[in-house]
Amino acid sequence: FYNSDAWRSIRTFIYEREHGCCQRCGRFIFGKRAHVHHIVPIKKNPLLKLDTNNLMLLCPKCHTIIENEENQEAVFPSYFKAPPAKK
């Protein structure tokens, strides 16, 4: 999928739409360092994989942060919550 013409085209569109700036921190990102992130993962809804409303431009640092935040909530929700207060 990531080598398809459709993905390359939509990736370019997202980069231009955001003027090459990370949507989380606002930093300018150049070339391959620009990551296009699926807000709703392809695994959860493959129909949204090329939907421009489901895509956002992120720098590598912010992409890692967002991916980790999402994975913590989805994979181990109780593990990452604060322990119950002791009486």
Task: Write the DSSP assignment of 30-71 as a string of letters.
Answer: -GGG-EEEESS-TTT-GGGTT-GGGEEEE-HHHHHHHHHHHH
Is the distance from CB of 56 to CB of 39 less than 8 angstroms?
A: yes
pLDDT band with cut points at 50, 70 and 90 for residue 76: very low
- Mean pLDDT value of segment 57-73: 86
Q: Which residue has the higher pLDDT, 28 or 80?
A: 28
Looking at residue 80, its amino acid is: F
pTM (2 d.p.):
0.76
Please state whether beta strands 35-38 and 55-58 pair in parallel, antiparallel, or not at all (unpaired).
antiparallel
pLDDT band with cut points at 50, 70 and 90 for residue 13: very high
Q: Tell me the C-alpha distance between 2 and 13, whole Å.
A: 15
